[in-house]
């Protein structure tokens, strides 16, 4: 007789596996924020600074680099969320569900935060040094930054959750999860081979006179 706690242990083991996979998804998606920070820094427009007798000032009366940098940040995180959702859906196809979706959302927020932090740190020490030591007439650039109320940070998570949910809505799998198909060669038992009939000469010899 099976122990009454066996189903509970199986349930806990299943839940533990789901959580581990969700954490792996979250860590992978969050780690992608580091290379995305390099991309953001490379393509985003910069705010240009000029050193004068009165200190450092913008080279433009209304610099568009602030808005442009945040706009590029939003575009990159939006695309990153879509890609992360599609890759997670295809790779983690046997664990699809709300727990993996939660890991995807958590990793997307972490990735956006990491991208914003690393992107702003790139060149920050040189910028601060130039603010103090740059000669009059020197021109330099301000590092990219996410200013305002940080409303751009959740964009990647929203994009990832929306894409993953959309894929689930059009899934043909009843449980969303891809189940390994059993080969039809083993799906039905094969009948044993038939016993061959005795030769005609043997049958005639054994017949009664």
Tokens of 164: 């993953």
* Alpha carbon separation from 178 to 44, 55, 203 (Å, rounded): 40, 63, 57
The vertex-89 CA angle with 30 and 152, nearest 5°, equals 40
Q: Is pLDDT above 60 for 188?
A: no
Which of 8-12, 61-65, 88-92, 147-151 has the least mean pLDDT? Answer: 147-151
Go through 8-41 and write b for each residue having 16 or more CB atoms within 10 A of its CB, e for each that does not: eeeeeeeeeebeebbeebbebbbebbeebbeebb
Average pLDDT, the chain: 84
- Residue 9 confidence (pLDDT): 82
For 152-163, the pLDDT digits (tens) are 999 999 999 999
pTM score: 0.78
For 134-152, the pLDDT digits (tens) are 899 999 999 999 876 578 9
Q: Is pLDDT above 80 for 181?
A: no
pLDDT band at 198 (very low <50, low <70, confident <90, very high): low
**Beta-sheet pairing, 55-58 with 47-52:** antiparallel
> How long, in residues, is the chain?
209
Q: Is pLDDT above 80 for 108?
A: yes
50: CB partners within 8 A, 6+ apart: 56, 57, 58, 59, 137, 138, 139
With beta carbons less than 8 A apart as the criterion, state whether 31 and 108 touch. no
Strand order in the sheet with 47-52: 55-58, 47-52, 139-142
- Residue 77 confidence (pLDDT): 97
- Residue 41 confidence (pLDDT): 96
For 19-75, the pLDDT digits (tens) are 999 999 999 999 999 999 999 999 999 999 999 988 889 888 888 888 899 999 999
For the chain, state the CA radius of gyration.
32
């Amino acid at each position: 007789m099976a122990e009454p706690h066996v189903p509970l242990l199986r349930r806990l083991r299943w839940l533990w596996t789901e959580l581990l996979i969700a954490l792996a998804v979250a860590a992978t998606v969050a780690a992608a924020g580091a290379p995305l920070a390099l991309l953001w820094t490379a393509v985003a427009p910069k705010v240009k600074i000029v050193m004068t007798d009165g200190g450092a000032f913008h080279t433009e009366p209304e610099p568009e680099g602030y808005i442009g940098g945040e706009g590029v940040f939003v575009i990159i995180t939006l695309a990153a969320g879509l890609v992360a959702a599609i890759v997670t859906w295809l790779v983690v196809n046997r664990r699809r569900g709300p727990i993996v979706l939660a890991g995807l959302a958590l990793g997307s927020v972490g990735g956006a935060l990491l991208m914003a932090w690393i992107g702003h740190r790139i060149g920050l020490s040189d910028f601060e040094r130039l603010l103090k030591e740059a000669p009059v007439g020197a021109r330099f650039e301000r590092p990219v930054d996410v200013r305002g109320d940080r409303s751009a940070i959740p964009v990647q998570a929203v994009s990832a959750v929306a894409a993953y949910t959309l894929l689930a809505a059009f899934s043909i799998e009843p449980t969303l999860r891809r189940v390994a198909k059993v080969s039809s060669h083993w799906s039905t038992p094969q009948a044993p081979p038939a016993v061959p009939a005795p030769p005609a000469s043997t049958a005639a010899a054994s017949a009664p006179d």
